[in-house]
Structure formats: C-alpha cells, structure tokens
Structure 1
C-alpha cells in the first residue's frame, strides 16, 4: 500500500545505496513495528542519468528489497527485507516547485548522504532557480520555509565528515549571509533549526537493480545530543550520545586502522597475487596473526587508556566478524589507495598516544616507517 506524501516528514537527500541500507531501512523497520508513523520522501539531488533511473523506480514502487548478508554471532546470515517507508521520490531538477511546497508544509527532518564532495559549493548560489550544490539547494529550501513562517527543522547529515552537522550549518549560514543579508533568517537558521552531528557505520556493499541494497548485519548511527533534538523514530542501531569523539576514534583506530595495517602486511609479505579480499586475509594465518598481535598488544591497550568507557574489545570482535563476512568482496587493492595518508590519519595518532602511556608499538611503528610516515 502506498504511503501518502503528507506522511513523509523525513526528507532524504540522496538515493545512494548507503541511505537505502541504513537510515531509510531504520525508518522502515520503525514504521513496520508501529514505533513510528514517519515516512520518507527521497530527493534525487544530481542530474546523473543513473540517479534519475533509481529515483523513477522509487517513485513507481514505493518500496525496495534490502538483503542482509554476513555473520552474526559467528553464524552466516542471509535475509531479505522489504522496506516500505518511501512515500515518494522527487528529482530536484525537474520537480523543484513541488519539493519546495513539501519542504514548507510537511518536512520535519532532513537526512543527507551526498558523498565526499557533497558539501562543496564553488560558485553556486541559493538564488539560482535550482542551485547545483546540496548546500545551495538546502539553503534555498530553508529560506522558503522561513518566509512561510514555519518552525525550524532537524538536520541529520550522514556524510563521513567530522562534525558534519556543524560544518553543514556553517556552510548554509555563509550562503544565507551571502545571498540574503537578512539577520532574522540567519537567527532562525541558528536558533530554530537543530543541526546534529552524526556518525554512521555500516557497509552497504552493493545495489540491487533497479533499486535496493545489500548490507552487512552490523549497523550503528551515533547521534550527538543537541538542544532541541527529537528523533523521528527509535532503532536498536541508534545511539544518542553526549559526544561523538569516542565513537569516531574507536572507528578510526580499530576498524580503519586494521584495514590499513592489513594492507601494510599484505604488501610486506608479498601476498598481492594470492590474497585479494579482506575475507581472504582473515583466512591467511600470516596476516590474521600479526593483525591480532598489533591490535591486542598495541592498539587496544592505548585506546583503553584514551577511551576507558568504550567497549573496545567488543567492537574489535565485531570488526573481525565484519572482516570475515563471506558475502563481502572488499578488495585490499582498493583499501591501499592513498595508503600513506591513511597511515598518517589512522596509525600515527596511536603511536603518538602510546608514547604518553609507555606502551611499545613496534609493529605499528614499522608500518609507519615502511610507508615513509615515520623516520627511523
């Protein structure tokens, strides 16, 4: 049964498989279980032909399949769920007037995942008939809502940017100052809208045609408590937290660091032609054993000092299970891109912290030396 647009209080910018396998999936679960009545309007923000095809499919069928594939408690999981929370899908370029009216009349929450360059504005302006950038579109829509005398919105960005809510707010306010010179609008954006920082953690590994997604069992949406924050739904994967910093550090220095350390050892042990995927690396004792050694004797002891309240061991065990996922083809060659930069962001801070806590880090230090990040 189709949901009415009047129920679509959540406006989702982006048709990415990640949002379909993460936030929209949570909204669908809450709706199906009677814990929410909030539906989703999906907005295709770019003019890419493939995006328009997906948007058309969403608009036509209002639901999509989500396959959950991976390990849970050491056992293989292969499930398919129908996500039935989509009330409609609009292409911003083609349906701007209708989108604006919905934003004024119905929207209460905004969710986005617009990719690595999603916050770039360049020479865009919210005064354009249809701005090209996501911040430009958002500023223009918020301006229309403000002029209509409506209350502010809650914004829950999911881009992989530290302080994503604060960063998006700064960009929108800068655009508003540039385009409107209206102090009351700026004050409304600042005080009446709730800009929450969030952190997402789930591998959504593939798309299903014409629309759908394949995701691992693990999922987390950590959202920083912010004055005025009200969530559209509850879900077991949602954590409302006082600070995202411990969650960011845990993810960066356990999951991401482990990926980068694996690449270092994969190269060092000359396994490029016999091991292609992370799941294969987990079955290679020479790789798994040295990774476990580095994590258990160097990384976790340091993080235990830095993040004493976090369940580091539990997160590491869930990370191992995610790495072992038999359905996920996560190529080590892909993880190896920008290896030196990743060493500097993911590994170097642990080695620096370790000095403060007198924890030896021979394996991590050798990886940094091989990458040219740390001199002998």
Structure 2
C-alpha cells in the first residue's frame, strides 16, 4: 500500500510557529487548526516542531512531515467524519540531537508564535539548569535560551518579540510560563535589557484548550488505511469538537486560526470560559454518572439514549447549571448542546466507572460552586445538584475494602471505588452508621468540601431524603420520580 506522502504533496510556507511537543494532542489540535487556517484564512504559515526530549524525527521524515487527522463523532445533530491530511509542519527537530539547528530558528524573521504542550509538569523551573546546557532540561529553560538568542540576534528589536501560547492544563498557564522564564533570566544573570524586552515585546497568553484526542488507533489502523487508500503511521484520531480560548484579545488579528469547525475565542474573560467547561462539561459528568451507574448503566452513550437519565441530564444542565455560568446564556446553551453531541459520540465508549474516580474532589470543584450560585439566585436548593451529592454518598457507601480501593455492590456486581486513601478510609468507617448520621458526618467534613455543608439550611435533610427514597424504591425509580417533580 502507498504511503500518505506518495499521494499528497507537502506545501512549504514561511515558518511562523515554533512548537514544543510532537504528541497526538498538538497534531490533532493546534496543527490541525493552523492547517485549516492556511486554507480558509490565508494564514500562510507553517510550524517548526521541536522534540523537547530525546526522540526520533525519522518517522516524520519518512512521510515528508505529512499525516492525517481523522475526526469521528457528531456535529449539528448528525454523525460526522472527516479525514484531513495536514500539510502545516515544515520541519521537525530534536532539541537535543539537533540543538544548533533548533537555536538557529531564533533567527527567523517570519517567526511569531510559540505553542507548547509539555504536560502540566512541564512548566516548571529547575535550579540545576545552567545557561551553558545545550539544551536546558526543562521546557521553560529551553524557551529562555531561545528567546535570549533571538533578543541578541535582533539586538532587542521590539518587533521581533514572540507570542507564547502554551496549551498545558495549568491554571494561568501563560503567566506561569512567563514567571519561569523570568526566573531563569534572573538565575542566569541575563542582561536587564533582555528582561525588559520579555516584558515589552513578548506576550505570554493564558489559554484553555478542549478536544478529546484518542491518538493512533492501533486496532483500527488497517481498516482506516483501506478507507483512506494509503498507509499513515502518524495518523491521529480525535473528536470533531474543539475549542481554543486565548486570553489575549489582541492576538486575534495576528493569529487568525478561528474557523467554522474550529472555534477560537480571543477574550479577556478566560476564567468565565473555564467556568463554563468545568460546570457544564465536567459538572454534567459528575452530576450524572454515579446515579446512572447504580441504575444499571455502564457508558455515557447509554445515558444519552436512556429516557430517565436523559431527562435528569436535561434538567440538571439547562435548568440548574447553565444559568450559573457567567457568560451570555445563548453561548452557554450552545456549549451545552455541543457537550451533548460529545456525550453521544458513537465512536467513543466512555465508561462511567472511569469518570467516577476521585468523585469527592470532583464534586467540590465541579458541582458545589454551581450549587451555591443557583441557591443564591433562586433561594431554593437545586434538586438535581442536591441529588448528585446523595448519589455520591450512595455510590461510596460500603465497608468492604479492596486493593487500594473500596468495593461497592450494584446488584450482584462488585465495583471498585477509587479516591484518596484518607477519603476512602473515612467513608468506610462511616458506612455502617444510620443514614442520617452517615450523611451529616460526611457533609460536615470541611477537609472534603472546603466548608461544613450541614450549615446550608435544608441541604442535609434533602440529601437524607434522597438516600432513603433510593433505598426504598431503587436508584433508577427515584431518578424517574424526581424528574417528574415540578
């Protein structure tokens, strides 16, 4: 079978982007977006990919830096598939084996942006790094040396600063990266003029990224190759949904990678978009999955087609969560609809038990803020966010210990409960109490929730009532009953 590079031509363009990281996510996210922008928005820019650690560049060279992104999922209510050959990578270099070539990129006049995805642990300062290291061990260390080389080559020219767009999941990732670079500049005693250039000429933008990328589909690869008509060992599979929030509005004109299928928000309200994601996407998961599992379901897709669980999800998301998001309501509703299409993706089987991990901290981060905002706005306990805590307490209620987990029972099936060891110990020791005492003792754990939840009027009695009713008629029947209530 022919290779992708036998059928498609690489397109050379000016190198505008330096990218730290060659992994699946960046290739299906940023590189895809730039490729579409080259076609649709006249971006006219390619990417120099840097392998930040020791790695092989020959797998890219064998395919002339071409590869395919296969999108599989739902869009606008219908099953959606797309196979796009990416032509936006100009070169791939190893920071270690090709250090001089890597640093020479700092001299390129066309360069404007730095994109990275080096894991959350990647944006860190290491005091053992030295200016003489070729390269430094950390990504911020490599970036500092690169920026310093550019500063010296262009004699501190104000128009030769770069825009940093880290995609790591750290909070305030751009500012964290900026702090690390400044820390290296100070530790290495670099000139004050360089620090001033970093501040005045360079931009470190906070970002938020969202796309599920499943990577190279080993088992499906032969069938995909037959479908495509060529072999591609760099092929990467992802969902159609994507969102890139860039917390620097001024970047919009310089980095026009927004397109119909790949929305990019250039905003000074990045935290509101993060809140939207955490409350709607993550919060919907946390509010739904534990009770759905106890009701006999195993996958998110099943929940979307089950009338009882789907009604719970609708009432939770649109009735209780969306109104608490601090963005225009229509924008939040549109995001929620996109989340539904992601949950219903027929190409992904997302196990409820996988989502159940560490549910105590997830409930605190994802549900409690929306619960409190809803209560403050309406003066009433939101029925489904209240129920979600009861579902958590029901799911975790067991005295049986497993190997670094607790063991719960769903009918004749045993399931594993995974959380922090101390959390599991507290639940195990509390499980044998009568329901009212069990609920109040756990809701009173300030170390779990950040506050004593029993101090919220009516909350504990409502949770107790949910648990009692679940025990009396079953979890699924109770969900159906609550769904029919006004």
TM-score (norm 1): 0.89
My pick for the range that moved more, 344-353 or 332-341, is 332-341
Structure-2 change in CA distance of 1:300 and 1:226 (3 Å): closer
Q: Which residue of 1 aligns with 2:129?
A: 125
Do residues 201 (structure 1) and 201 (structure 2) align? no
Structure ID, larger Rg: 2
Structure-2 change in CA distance of 1:126 and 1:70 (3 Å): farther
Paired with 2:112 and 2:330, the residues of 1 have a C-alpha distance of 32
Q: Which residue of 1 aligns with 2:198?
A: 189
Q: Which residue of 2 aligns with 1:164?
A: 173
Paired with 2:287 and 2:194, the residues of 1 have a C-alpha distance of 48
Greater RCO structure (CA 8 Å; 6+ sep) = 1
Q: Which residue of 1 aligns with 2:286?
A: 260
Structure-2 change in CA distance of 1:200 and 1:266 (3 Å): same
Paired with 2:149 and 2:252, the residues of 1 have a C-alpha distance of 22
Q: Secondary structure at the match of 2:373?
A: helix
Q: Which residue of 2 aligns with 1:19?
A: 26
Paired with 2:330 and 2:181, the residues of 1 have a C-alpha distance of 34
Aligned-residue offset at 1:287: 2.6
Aligned-residue offset at 1:181: 4.5
User: Residues 288 and 388 of structure 2 are in contact (CA less than 8 Å); yes or no, is this contact kept in structure 1?
Assistant: no
Among 90, 97, 103, the alignment partner of 1:100 is 103
Do residues 282 (structure 1) and 308 (structure 2) align? no
Aligned-residue offset at 1:366: 3.5
Paired with 2:252 and 2:61, the residues of 1 have a C-alpha distance of 29
Aligned-residue offset at 1:225: 2.6
Aligned-residue offset at 1:330: 2.5
Q: Secondary structure at the match of 2:72?
A: strand
Paired with 2:316 and 2:104, the residues of 1 have a C-alpha distance of 55
Structure-2 change in CA distance of 1:124 and 1:283 (3 Å): farther
Paired with 1:23 and 1:171, the residues of 2 have a C-alpha distance of 23
Runs of 4+ that moved beyond 6 A:
none
Do residues 302 (structure 1) and 302 (structure 2) align? no
Aligned-residue offset at 1:97: 0.9
Q: CA RMSD in A?
A: 2.2
Q: Secondary structure at the match of 1:311?
A: helix
Structure-2 change in CA distance of 1:284 and 1:12 (3 Å): same
Paired with 2:252 and 2:179, the residues of 1 have a C-alpha distance of 18
User: Residues 19 and 114 of structure 2 are in contact (CA less than 8 Å); yes or no, is this contact kept in structure 1?
Assistant: yes
Q: Secondary structure at the match of 1:180?
A: coil
Aligned-residue offset at 1:32: 2.9
Paired with 2:41 and 2:368, the residues of 1 have a C-alpha distance of 46
Matches within 5 A, 1:169-248: 169-207=178-216, 210-225=233-248, 230-236=253-259, 237-248=263-274
Do residues 40 (structure 1) and 43 (structure 2) align? no
Aligned length: 364
User: Residues 222 and 238 of structure 1 are in contact (CA less than 8 Å); yes or no, is this contact kept in structure 2?
Assistant: yes
Paired with 1:189 and 1:310, the residues of 2 have a C-alpha distance of 39
Structure-2 change in CA distance of 1:101 and 1:70 (3 Å): same
Listed as ranges, the gaps of 5+ residues in structure 1 are none
Q: Which residue of 2 aligns with 1:367?
A: 388
Structure-2 change in CA distance of 1:103 and 1:72 (3 Å): same
Do residues 8 (structure 1) and 15 (structure 2) align? yes
Q: Which residue of 1 aligns with 2:35?
A: 28
Residue by residue over 1:43-99, the C-alpha shift from the partner in whole angstroms, topping out at 9 and shown as x without a partner, is 11123xxxx34x432233211101111111211112211111111111111111100
Q: Secondary structure at the match of 1:205?
A: strand
Paired with 1:230 and 1:172, the residues of 2 have a C-alpha distance of 26
Listed as ranges, the gaps of 5+ residues in structure 2 are 1-8, 218-231, 394-441, 443-448, 455-459, 461-486
Q: Secondary structure at the match of 1:329?
A: coil
My pick for the range that moved more, 290-299 or 69-78, is 290-299
User: Residues 126 and 137 of structure 1 are in contact (CA less than 8 Å); yes or no, is this contact kept in structure 2?
Assistant: no
Do residues 338 (structure 1) and 343 (structure 2) align? no
Q: Which residue of 2 aligns with 1:251?
A: 277
Aligned-residue offset at 1:180: 2.0
